[in-house]
Amino acid sequence: MLMHGRVPTLILAGLLISLATGTSAQPSIYSALNSTANATFFYSSLSDANLATVFSNTSLNLTLLVPSDAAFGALETQLNISGDLFFLPNLAPKAAPILLYHFVTPSTPSGSIPPNISSFNLAFGSSTLKVNSSVVGNSTVNSTVIRISSIGSDVNITRTDISAGNSTIHILDGVLLPFYISIGSGLSRNKDLSAINSLTNKLGNNTAFLNVLNNLNTEYTVLAPVNSGLPLSLVKNGSVVTVVSPTGNATILSSFNVGLTGSGSYRSAIHLISQILLPPTLTTVREALSLRNDTKTFISVFTSSGSSYASWLDSTSLSRSTLLVPTDTAFATLLAQYPGYTLQNLIAGSTGVSQLLDLLVIRSSTISLAGLANGITNITVNNGAVLLRANKSSSTGAVKFLSLANSANSVGSDYYIGRVESGVTVIIIDTVLLPQPFNMGADGASSLAAPSPFAMAFCSVIAAALLHAFGRQW
């Protein structure tokens, strides 16, 4: 009876011991976040990224830097993405690197952060976060401001020392980013790129170029020479001063991701390279066109018997001229407008070749895509009539050339032959610009009207498909 009577007593004692033990158990980072005000977004994101179990371990000794809910909301606008990246089951795991970037080691209360400049070691990675603890205010009232700098952002600690067992939580007013938000941001934030950043800032009049650097949706790979890779020396010989720059190959020293898409992938990349890379020195038109595989038709036309420019192809003494070079697809589109008329027919007729080349070859003027002013520029004027114009977009830098009959877009970058200011520029275009009127046939043949822009656009699609399907080579 006594033994039976003691059973409830023993059970009750065991429950009390269990409750006491449960009450005194240390909270984990994950459980502490659940009861931390203004940390709801980060708490939910850990779960959605399948990291809840990892941070439910009560033995962890870390410092967690938690962006506030408002900071995460601002990030969507800052990166031009949707917050779905952190919540949707198929996307949230891709955000894990951003979340893990906010854990440093060891647990560090605010009182243990040294004054002035120090650093936090990332718990998941080999890099560090810069910490700047400073006192602001006056002789009567002052406070300590702790600012943390990551690769892509600078944020302040707004609330400190939230206990999470062996760990400590601090609340931030921004999100720490392990990538640059734009190419321009990367150039300006990386101290090893201050020289190239200074050069780009001097292009203030080229707003289109700067827009590309700072556009959040830009998708490029940038090879950026570090400061030590930009040594330029001046060599004076009499009255001639030559700028000598490095030659040879460059080595990739480090790499950084840029931007973020709504699907969790990075938009661009910046590779820091050991020295500046210089484009090849081109001395002839042939050398410039050999860098592409889609200008064979133009070479045939340029060197035909009806061309007065055939000697230009290999000349090393050309100066102050610009060549607008249509692609092979552009010529195929033009010829498709005249059934039964072939490239050989065009080459055999001096009138058509002469008319085309006199429009495509711009004498006495070295034009560069970067050097064109935004808006409309008159290029070729004959007796007061504007035969050729350029229209440069102020937002994208894209250049469209307009003749009296049609228009063409520039394709890629331009090529310089000789000196940039006084040599020859080759600009690739996607349409054969036509004069008005235009005689397509041989000498003495009837004049064929230039096709309409709509017809040109329609046939460009057909020509491109045929060239792709049959691999036609001119």
Domain ranges in the chain are 25-172, 183-273, 285-470
Instruction: Kindly list the distances between the CA atom of residue 457 and the CA atoms of 60, 229, 342, 410, 460, in Å, as whole numbers in the listed order.
Output: 64, 46, 19, 15, 5
- Tell me the residue type at 127: S
| Residue whose token pair is 């890099």 | 127
Count Cβ atoms below 10 Å from residue 144 Cβ, excluding itself.
15
- Supply the pLDDT for residue 140: 58
Own/partner pairs for 338-345, CB < 8 Å, 24+ apart? 338/440, 338/448, 341/440, 341/441, 343/297, 343/300, 343/301, 343/474, 345/441, 345/442
- Cα dihedral value 340, 342, 344, 348, nearest 10: 70
pLDDT in tens, the chain (474 residues): 333 333 333 333 433 333 344 445 689 999 999 999 999 999 999 999 999 999 999 999 999 999 999 998 898 888 888 767 777 777 888 889 999 999 999 999 999 999 999 999 999 988 899 999 887 755 555 578 999 999 999 999 999 999 999 999 999 999 999 999 999 999 999 999 999 998 888 765 556 677 778 888 888 899 999 998 887 677 777 777 676 777 778 999 999 999 988 888 899 999 999 988 877 789 999 999 999 999 999 999 999 988 899 999 999 999 899 999 999 999 999 999 888 888 888 888 777 888 899 999 998 888 988 888 889 999 987 767 788 999 998 877 889 999 999 999 999 888 999 876 678 999 999 999 999 888 776 444 444 455 554 444 444 444 444 444 444 443
Q: Is 3.30.450.90 the CATH classification of the domain at 25-172? A: no
Are 173 and 179 in contact by the 8 Å Cβ rule? The answer is no
| Residue whose token pair is 């830097």 | 65
Q: Which of 401, 468, 417, 465 has the alpha carbon at shortest distance from 290?
A: 417
Domains 25-172 and 285-470 in one fold = yes
- Coil/strand/helix, residue 294: coil
Rounded CA gap, 345 and 336, in Å?
A: 13
Q: Is 2.30.180.10 the CATH classification of the domain at 285-470? A: yes
Rounded CA gap, 297 and 303, in Å?
A: 10
Are 227 and 256 in contact by the 8 Å Cβ rule? The answer is no
Beta-sheet pairing, 142-149 with 128-137:
antiparallel
* Token output for 150: 């990551």
Q: Which of 426, 428, 427, 419 has the alpha carbon at shortest distance from 319?
A: 419
